[in-house]
Amino acid sequence: MSTETFEELAETFDFLDDWEDRYRHVIDMGKAMPPMEEALKVPATKVEGCASQVWIQPVIDGTGPQARFDFQGDSDAMIVRGLIAVLHALYAGRPVSEVATIDAQAQLARLGLDEHLSSQRSNGLRAMVGRIRAIATEAAA
C-alpha cells in the first residue's frame, strides 16, 4: 500500500545496486525539495528526537477522514532533508485516515534504509514518522 511516487522511488533504488549511489540519490531528493519558509521553523513544527534540526509543517486539504495529507519539511542536514523527501513520497496525497495504517518501517526497508542508517538517524526517522502519524490522526478526527 504505497503511492505511485514511492513505487517509482523503490524501482529507482532497485536499479541502484550500490548503497553509495542510493545515499547520493536520497541527498539529491532532499536538494530538490522546495525550501521551507524560515517563519515556519518554530518550536511547534520542530520534531523532537532527531539529532539534526528537523521541522515538519502539515498541509491538510479538506476536513475529516478523507482530507488529503501533505506536509512541508526541512532539516539542517542534507541526508535528513532527503529522508524527509522519502517520507513525502510515502505519505503525500493520501487521505489522513490512511496515514497511520501505513507500515512505514516495512516500506522503508524495501529501500534498504533500515540497514544503512546510523542508529541516531533511524531514531530520527522514527520520530518523523511518529510526528506525521500524529498530525494525520489529529486531522482525521
pLDDT digits (tens, 9 = 90+) for 3-56: 788 999 999 999 998 888 999 999 999 999 999 999 999 999 999 988 899 999
- Domains, the chain, in order of start with CATH, read 4-140 (3.90.1010.10)
d(CA 92, CA 55): 16
Position 112 confidence tier, pLDDT thresholds 50, 70, 90: confident
Q: Looking at the predicted structure, is the pLDDT value of residue 2 above 70? A: no
Q: How far is CA 121 from the centre of its chain?
A: 13
The pTM is what?
A: 0.93
Residues classed as catalytic: 50
Q: Compute the mean pLDDT over every residue in the chain, rounded to the nearest whole number.
A: 92
| pLDDT (mean) for 96-106 | 93
Average pLDDT over residues 119-139: 93
Would you state the pLDDT for residue 30? 95
Q: Would you say 62 and 35 are in contact if contact means Cβ atoms under 8 Å apart?
A: no
